Structure 1
């Protein structure tokens, strides 16, 4: 009995340790696409205002301040946001009524571990040529240095070519694109190159509008 109890305690501690080790990610934007600055727990994330701000770290209940830069003024919003470990959460500053606005969670996507991100051990390499971890990192760095979505799309397509990718890779690339139509174009292009097509719904959280998801569904399922 004592041995069983110790095993149970060990299992709980191992599970807790695993959950604590999981990273969290978050993306911030406004519904109208204004440039913003994000401050989390009094730490400035981006000194240069951007339309989309991406963060990766520990997660939890965080004190988030977002400065929205409009043509004639700057508006600041502040809230305590729950950023779940193991997931990428999308937050959008949305307008409520004529004068008020709020930071809303508009999407959440599971962040897979490397076993799912790079499933070389699952798929037979004789039949699949998969974009490697290092190639994917190089591709993302090149995309981050590009100034326009058109350039980012070109970098992504050239970097992948005829190789296979996973939904995890697709999500990473979509997060680096700024505009909805660019994301939709890439999602359509990437579908036939994706190994785990049954998990393609995992990318839906990258889209801001339901109509984009509906159009993607029509493209895939007819």
Structure 2
């Protein structure tokens, strides 16, 4: 007697549903002037039925809803809006009339599922730096010479804790000193100083100090 065995192979496939929502562009460190407007950017791929939420370090939570209205963990002024284009996946946080208090904080956008779990978050968090409206720099001449050969000191001071300002000291169109200067916290500003030997050609010269920075354009004196 002959027995035939038929081997049946059953293949089982376990499919995991993976949420495809991801943040492809997150906010970057941003500088702003007090009272100005600032936008922090967030671009999402395939949001689906998930929710975009903006956080400011342990203080606020700004939630995206279908009509881009604001839902917040605290009373929020109308200065906060989520702007962008649903079709392009942009859910940017726009702040109007930014204040010093809103600076120095880390901002983050994240994707939350309907179940309340974290799907994705921007990394690293972005820091918003807010500076006071700058004033024009001031110039000081240490000695008003009358005789050629005397040394003249020339100092430029720029008030405010603005980082990495470029200070240029010139006599007429001739550069005396130029360079990047960081602010001194004790003096609450940036200072650049030089000296030069007075010549007959310097008689009637105009000494000028200019300050430039990527955050703003500062008037010169």
Q: What is the TM-score of this pair, normalised by structure 2?
A: 0.25
Higher relative contact order, chain-length normalized (CA < 8 Å, sep 6+)? 2
Bigger CA radius of gyration: 2
Q: Which structure has more strand as a fraction of its residues?
A: 2
